[in-house]
Amino acid sequence: MRIAFLMAPEGVEQIELTDPWKAVTDAGGEPVLVSTEPGRVQAFNHLDKADTFPVDKVAGEVSADSFDGLVLPGGVANPDALRLDEGAVSFVRGFFDSGRPVAAICHAPWILIEADVVSGRELTSFPSLRTDIRNAGGTWVDEQVKVCDGGSNTLITSRKPDDLKAFCDAFLTEFAKPIAS
């Protein structure tokens, strides 16, 4: 199981990267850090700088077909920067086009909105995205984790760091399923 973790060069909420990363590793999978630029990603603990992490691949140079699933960690600045990068938006859209599962937590659904993939889907997020999701044609629910089978792939969403255990359990279950062709 090879899983992409997409994030901007800075602004990712560290625990929303490290806990899912560990879950993938513990399940015997291969997590791959994908960013919009080479180098290192600066993580944050809310508004305070935390650790940095090495970038494995650049979004514009790799396709969804190279992975079994996608994890989109949150943090406010991370998805806000990603949705302005066409390579990142195309990378996300590629997972939906190829029927691969996607997991997004906290503010990460912002990039899903930009990729135009939330319409007709039921999902959750940090509560401040509720109106954005509804305006994009999605149905927002206040649940710890939401698994939505829609179109050709599965979308797993979660609200916040307190929900990480349920989020990781849900996406690992979905990522282990065969990709529909």
Residue among 46, 107, 148, 168 flagged as catalytic: 107
Which pLDDT score, from 0 to 100, does residue 82 have?
A: 97
Q: Is residue 49 part of a domain?
A: yes
Residue among 46, 106, 148, 168 flagged as catalytic: 106
Which pLDDT score, from 0 to 100, does residue 51 have?
A: 98
Which pLDDT score, from 0 to 100, does residue 151 have?
A: 61
pTM of the model: 0.97
The CATH number for 118's domain is 3.40.50.880
Which pLDDT score, from 0 to 100, does residue 150 have?
A: 65
Could you tell me the strand order of the sheet in which 2-7 lies? 57-58, 30-35, 2-7, 69-72, 102-105, 153-158, 145-150
Which pLDDT score, from 0 to 100, does residue 49 have?
A: 97
The DSSP bridge partners found for residue 123 are 140
The verdict on whether 106 is a catalytic residue reads yes
Q: Is residue 74 part of a domain?
A: yes
Beta strands in the chain (DSSP E): 2-7, 10-13, 30-35, 40-45, 48-54, 57-58, 69-72, 102-105, 122-123, 139-140, 145-150, 153-158
The verdict on whether 46 is a catalytic residue reads no
Rounded Cα distance between 118 and 161, Å, is: 22
**pLDDT of the chain, 181 residues: tens digit per residue:** 999 999 999 999 999 999 999 999 999 999 999 999 999 999 999 999 999 999 999 998 999 999 999 999 999 999 999 999 999 999 999 999 999 999 999 999 999 999 999 999 999 999 999 999 999 999 999 999 999 876 678 999 999 999 999 999 999 999 998 876 6
Domain that holds residue 16: 2-175
Residue 127 CA: distances (Å) to CA of 14, 106, 158: 19, 8, 10
Which pLDDT score, from 0 to 100, does residue 31 have?
A: 98
Q: Is residue 181 part of a domain?
A: no
Report residue 93: phi and psi, to 5°: -60, -35
- Largest Cα separation within the chain, whole Å, is 43
Domain count, the chain: 1
Q: Is residue 180 part of a domain?
A: no
Rounded Cα distance between 44 and 136, Å, is: 28
Rounded Cα distance between 59 and 35, Å, is: 6
Rounded Cα distance between 112 and 166, Å, is: 20
Which pLDDT score, from 0 to 100, does residue 89 have?
A: 97
